[in-house]
């Protein structure tokens, strides 16, 4: 939608006048009403079916101010002159469905009633607004959820973890310890899968496709190291 609005304001939307200027063969007559020149302003603000859509909409119309023969004055009116209580970006959907009605005529020779154009724009605008509010609620909820910290565990603990697939030659390992004076001491590595006792114990504690977690006491490890000396 932003890109579409940018195309209107920057004057590069593919209306017949612009296509002719880009060297594409064909007439410049308005697809819907047969006017001499299908410009961007004509499609959205001067073509009779489009003028009818604006007249039916809640956006205030005035023959002098809006819709006028100036594209910039018209877009300025829609963007900044209509109070949000009257129209909260609803106009963007009206523009979009006027453009779709024009394309229906150009490519399928279908005449879309201005009342249908407005109805489609209004329902789409409401759905979009609802989607934005539910999206904002989800963001707010996720922001208000407190971050839970792990409960304190007395003693000196090393939490280790491993992940592997049966046929992969590499596996992942990670560890974190609660050793006093070494808060946040952690590490991870990617290593070749081997049949070490540690890997065997990891494999026994869970299936081959799962990430498993076991707690190993550093004190027990130290005892083993001391024994091995
Ligand atoms: Zn026209």
pLDDT-derived band at 222, boundaries 50, 70, 90: very low
Rounded to whole angstroms, what are the CA distances from 88 to 33, 51, 79, 134?
A: 30, 20, 9, 17
**60 with 120, same domain?**
yes
- Is 151 contained in some domain? no
Contact (Cβ atoms closer than 8 angstroms) between residue 18 and residue 12: yes
Chain-centroid distance of CA 108 in Å reads 31
Strand boundaries in 82-180, DSSP class E: 157-163, 170-177
| Span of 18-32, 74-88, 100-114 with lowest mean pLDDT | 74-88
**Could you report the per-residue pLDDT of 155-183, keeping only the tens digit for each?**
667 777 777 777 777 778 777 777 666 66
Å from CA of 171 to ligand 1 middle: 67
**125 with 223, same domain?**
no
Residue 206 structure tokens: 């869970």
Å from CA of 32 to ligand 1 middle: 5
Å from CA of 51 to ligand 1 middle: 10
**46 with 105, same domain?**
yes
Å from CA of 28 to ligand 1 middle: 11
**55 with 133, same domain?**
yes
**Could you report the per-residue pLDDT of 86-125, keeping only the tens digit for each?**
767 789 999 999 999 999 999 999 999 999 999 999 998 8
Identify the pLDDT of residue 102. 95
- Residue 23, by phi and psi: left (phi above 0), alpha (psi -120 to 50) or beta? left
Distance CA 41, CA 70 (A): 7
Nearby residues for ligand 1 (ion, Cβ within 5 Å): 30, 32-33, 35, 47
Å from CA of 90 to ligand 1 middle: 23
Distance CA 5, CA 71 (A): 12
**96 with 190, same domain?**
no
Å from CA of 1 to ligand 1 middle: 23
Distance CA 114, CA 53 (A): 5
Å from CA of 195 to ligand 1 middle: 78
- Is 150 contained in some domain? no
- Is 112 contained in some domain? yes
Å from CA of 88 to ligand 1 middle: 27
**52 with 115, same domain?**
yes
């Amino acid at each position: 939608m932003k890109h579409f609005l940018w195309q209107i304001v920057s004057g590069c939307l593919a209306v017949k006048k612009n296509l002719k200027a880009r060297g594409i063969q064909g007439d410049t007559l308005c697809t819907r009403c047969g006017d001499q020149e299908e410009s961007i302003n004509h499609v959205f603000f001067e073509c009779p079916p489009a003028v009818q859509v604006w007249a039916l909409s809640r956006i205030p119309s005035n023959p002098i101010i809006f819709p006028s023969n100036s594209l910039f004055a018209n877009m300025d009116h829609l963007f900044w002159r209509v109070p949000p209580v009257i129209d909260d970006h609803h106009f963007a959907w009206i523009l979009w469905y006027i453009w779709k009605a024009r394309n229906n005529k150009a490519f399928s020779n279908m005449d879309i009633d201005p009342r249908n154009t407005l109805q489609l724009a209004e329902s789409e605008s409401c759905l979009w607004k609802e989607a934005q509010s539910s999206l904002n609620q989800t963001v707010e909820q996720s922001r208000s959820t407190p971050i839970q910290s792990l409960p304190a565990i007395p003693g000196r603990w090393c939490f280790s973890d491993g992940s592997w697939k049966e046929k992969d030659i590499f596996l992942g390992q990670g560890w974190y310890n609660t050793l006093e004076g070494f808060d946040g001491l952690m590490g991870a590595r990617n290593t070749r899968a081997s049949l070490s006792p540690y890997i065997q114990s990891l494999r026994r504690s869970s299936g081959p496709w799962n990430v498993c977690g076991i707690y190993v006491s550093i004190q027990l490890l130290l005892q083993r190291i001391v024994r091995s000396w």
